[in-house]
Copies of this chain bind each other. A is one copy, B any other.
Amino acid sequence: MQWHTSQPEPTWKDQIVTANSRANNQDQRDISSEPDENVIVERIYKAVMEQRLAPKTKLSEARLCETFGVGRMRVRRALLLLSSQGIIDLQSNRGAYVACPDKAEANDVFAARMLIEPPLVRQLAQDPSRINLALLTDHITLEDEARAQNERTEIIRLSGEFHTKLAQASGNKFITRMMRELVTRTSLIVGLFGSSESTSCAEDEHTNILLAIQTGKPDQAEHLLISHLNHIQNGLDMDALQQPQDDLAAILG
């Protein structure tokens, strides 16, 4: 949890490896031992979502190659894709670093979410019979289980992915991609600026939002979601450790 005291070269190899201990056994059409770049992207994405990969962590090509047992080409393709999603920062001749959102970017993320998510849940609640409700109810079940067993990383990831699944429930590919990107950024932001207990707030807020959607109450659903987003944002201390973009702070930590 103490990202802030980031070492110059943290040992994140195990973190990524264990992330796959329980691979999602669906959508896995290719069982070949050689994972393609999508698998690499997915694993790093998951590690970021679970706040196991700290911002500014260097992802060197050589390390990734031996971690995933892949050639350099696959790694470079994966890094390019991750950078296009804003998950990592690709610096020319200097390597790839986990993205480190600054204050302005954090504001943009929340502003974008405030713009998109309220109309989204309103729309979901307006016609709950036409959306993929099972996706959401199943998710709440997973969240409850993780919370009951106190699995920290699972809780953090699922807490964020609830919002991605709201978009998924709409069945709209573009909304889903956008939300996924915003939620990923939010995870990085919460890891950077969040208080130690605010990393996985929203105990029953997700449940209440889903309930409002299920029972077809657009106004209530929208209101609950706005409160929820405000709650997350208010739990941040934006002046906490405003790190500069270069890696000076990482060395001085």
Contact = CB atoms under 8 A, between A and B. Distances in A.
What number of copies of this chain does the assembly contain? 2
State the main secondary structure of chain A at its contact with B.
helix
A181 interface: yes
Contacts of A172: 108, 111-112, 115
Interface residues of A, number: 25
Contacts of A115: 116, 119-120, 123, 172, 175
Contacts of A211: none
A192 interface: no
A133 interface: no
Contact of A81 (B84, B105, B116, B120): B84
Contacts of A81: 80, 84
Given A80-B80, A108-B173, A115-B123, 8 more contacts: A84-B85, A108-B171, A108-B174, A115-B116, A115-B172, A119-B119, A174-B178, A174-B182
Interface of A: 77, 80-81, 84-85, 105, 108-109, 111-112, 115-116, 118-120, 123, 171-175, 178, 181-182, 185
